[in-house]
Amino acid sequence: MDTVYENALRDMDMKIYRNCLLYNGDIPFAVGSLDGTYTLSGKGQWTDGFWPGLQLLAYAGLQDDLLLGEYERYMPFLIERVNNDPTVNKDRGYLSLDHDVGFIFHLTAVYHYVLTGSQSSREIGLKAAESLLGRFQEKGSYIRAWNNWESDTPEFRQEKKGKAIIDSLMNVPLLFWAAKETGESRYRKSAEAHIRQLATNIVREDGSTYHSYNFNPDTGNPVGGRSVQGYSHASTWSRGQAWAIYGFALAYRYTGNEEFLQASQRCLNYWKHSLLPEGDAPWDFAAPRNKWLPIDTSAMSIASCGILELYLHAPDDRELHELAERMISRLLEAHRAPAFPAGNAFLLHGCVGPAYREGSKEEKDRNYFYANQSLIYGDYFLYEAIMRLQSRNTLLPWDF
Ligand code: GLY
């Protein structure tokens, strides 16, 4: 038992208890929270699962029914969300469901079902898996990432039809769970085919990654890599790289496919050699390294979980463990949010991305707005990483 980690968990637990009161059934906003303090009224985004999921993670470690009760207050919302009714979505300002259903419902409904056996949560999880499976494109064998938004240009709408993204690697575990739960192989087949496409196309020769990869929606032929949240189409967005390290490692957990293990290891190798001298992850590994370059602590906590997942499969590899420990120490020593009430987040210095690019003043202002934030997913994976380091958990969302 390491006291540094134990103390960090205790501090985060205190914030979780206090945030239960403060949020009172609400959810932190996905974008634009100040460093250290969350803005509320964030319902209806890709991030909906992280706060209730965090309550469940804390419950799994502490076995306190109060936390379970607090989580269960979100179940009517999760049911409404998974129903994805266009009128409700419009009335409430919810984004329609896309590939992000894994983030939203795996960390909540599936985990809740695994922890408690709730049939209602099982149904939510299966409904979400069905909607993810419905995005699988037979031509090209990939899961379509995003839906069209009103603000999209006609070109972007066309591009989106054939777009797969790296973050989806964290959503496909939902399909592996559904396959196990129902005994139906269709979930697994599509998940594996999609992951294979990403391993082939989204990971470059040197282990770096594209944020997204476009296929021709009519023929399914590969077209090329593109970035939306990174610095350029040829660059490597660090959170995407972290999703890849972790997502491919999880794919290996569920399939035993060595190709996925190697993809994760190659992405990690690139990651290790690309960090800033102090050990931070820049928002994008190819962005100019000047005084404005923002870092992304969420990428660091996600990658730490991925490394600890890899360590599960190579328990003699002390270097892996030490690398995760170094990153978590850096987060705790240099990027921790202040104590409550000055801060109710765990981490500072997250970056939604893009942080800056050439463009109009309006675009640059908006981009600035995307840097230096507390991000609920950075907090979620920090908590998970430290639970893993402390072996505090009995069961993680990924264990089924
Ligand atoms: N999944 C969206 C993001 O990582 O920003």
Task: Provide the whole-model pTM.
Answer: 0.97
| H/E stretch holding 320 | helix 318-334
Q: What is the pLDDT of residue 171?
A: 98
Q: What is the pLDDT of residue 183?
A: 98
Gap between the Cα atoms of 232 and 379, Å rounded? 27
For the domain 2-390, what is the CATH code?
Answer: 1.50.10.10
Domain boundaries, the chain: 2-390
Q: Is 167 in the pocket of ligand 1 (CB under 6 A)?
A: yes
Given pLDDT bands bounded at 50, 70 and 90, which one contains residue 393? Answer: low
Q: Is 99 in the pocket of ligand 1 (CB under 6 A)?
A: no
Site to probe by mutation for ligand 1, drawn from 29, 33, 46 as the one with most ligand atoms within 8 Å of Cβ, is 46
The candidate with the shortest Cα–Cα distance to 230, out of 207, 209, 203, is 209
Q: Separation of 284 CA from ligand 1 center, angstroms?
A: 13
Summarize the confidence of residues 231-243 as an average pLDDT: 96
Q: What is the pLDDT of residues 92-125, one digit of tens each?
A: 999 999 999 999 999 999 999 999 999 999 999 9
Ligand 1, atom 5: nearest CA belongs to which residue? Answer: 352
Residues in the chain: 400
Q: Separation of 239 CA from ligand 1 center, angstroms?
A: 7
Helix (H, G, I), strand (E, B) or coil at 344: coil
Q: What is the pLDDT of residue 363?
A: 72
Return the beta strands (E) in 4-162 as ranges. Answer: 136-137, 142-143
Gap between the Cα atoms of 26 and 23, Å rounded? 5
Q: Which atom of ligand 1 is nearest to the CA of 243?
A: 4
Q: Separation of 167 CA from ligand 1 center, angstroms?
A: 6
Q: Is 46 in the pocket of ligand 1 (CB under 6 A)?
A: yes
Listed in sequence order, the residues at least 6 apart from 245 whose beta carbon sits closer than 8 Å to its beta carbon are 264, 267, 268, 271, 302, 303, 306, 307, 310
Q: What is the pLDDT of residue 23?
A: 95
Gap between the Cα atoms of 358 and 349, Å rounded? 22
- Euclidean distance between the first and final Cα of the chain, in Å? 25
Site to probe by mutation for ligand 1, drawn from 106, 229, 283, 301 as the one with most ligand atoms within 8 Å of Cβ, is 229
CA 34 from chain centre, in angstroms, equals 20
Residue 381, amino acid: F
Kindly report the average pLDDT of the chain as a whole number. Answer: 95
Q: Is 237 in the pocket of ligand 1 (CB under 6 A)?
A: no
Gap between the Cα atoms of 301 and 359, Å rounded? 30
Other CB atoms within 10 A of residue 279 CB: 16
Summarize the confidence of residues 273-282 as an average pLDDT: 98
Listed in sequence order, the residues at least 6 apart from 156 whose beta carbon sits closer than 8 Å to its beta carbon are none
Q: Separation of 100 CA from ligand 1 center, angstroms?
A: 9
Q: What is the pLDDT of residue 130?
A: 98
- Model confidence at 32: pLDDT above 80: no
Q: What is the pLDDT of residues 129-179, one digit of tens each?
A: 999 999 999 999 999 999 998 889 999 999 999 999 999 999 999 999 999
Output the CA–CA distances (angstroms, integers) from residue 321 to 141, 300, 304, 385, in the order listed.
Answer: 35, 14, 9, 11
Q: What is the pLDDT of residues 175-220, one digit of tens each?
A: 999 999 999 999 999 999 999 999 999 999 999 999 999 999 999 9
Site to probe by mutation for ligand 1, drawn from 167, 238, 283, 296 as the one with most ligand atoms within 8 Å of Cβ, is 167
Q: Is 296 in the pocket of ligand 1 (CB under 6 A)?
A: no
Q: What is the pLDDT of residues 326-363, one digit of tens each?
A: 999 999 999 999 998 899 999 999 999 887 766 777 77
Per the CB < 8 A criterion, the answer to whether 350 and 294 are in contact is no
